[in-house]
Amino acid sequence: MKKYIGGLRIAAFLLDGLMTVVVVLLVGSIASLLMHRILPTRIGPINTIWGLVVLLGLAYFMGRDGFGGRSPGKHLMGLRVARADGRPCTLPASLRRNLSLLVPGLNLLELWIFLRRPHEARMGDRFARTRVEET
Q: Encode 28-58 in three state secondary structure.
A: HHHHHHHHHHHCCCCCHHHHHHHHHHHHHHH
Span 14-55, pLDDT tens digits: 999 999 999 999 999 999 888 888 877 677 788 888 999 999
How far apart, in Å, are the Cα atoms of 124 and each of 60, 73, 76, 113? 17, 18, 22, 11
Alpha helices in the chain (DSSP H): 6-38, 44-63, 72-77, 91-98, 106-116, 123-128
Span 60-97, pLDDT tens digits: 999 999 999 999 999 999 999 999 999 999 999 999 99
19: number of Cβ within 10 Å: 18
Amino acid at residue number 31: A
Amino acid at residue number 85: D
- Can you give the pTM of this predicted structure? 0.85
Q: What integer pLDDT is reported at residue 3 of this predicted model?
A: 73
Domains of the chain, by residue range, sit at 6-134
Q: Has residue 117 got a pLDDT over 70?
A: yes
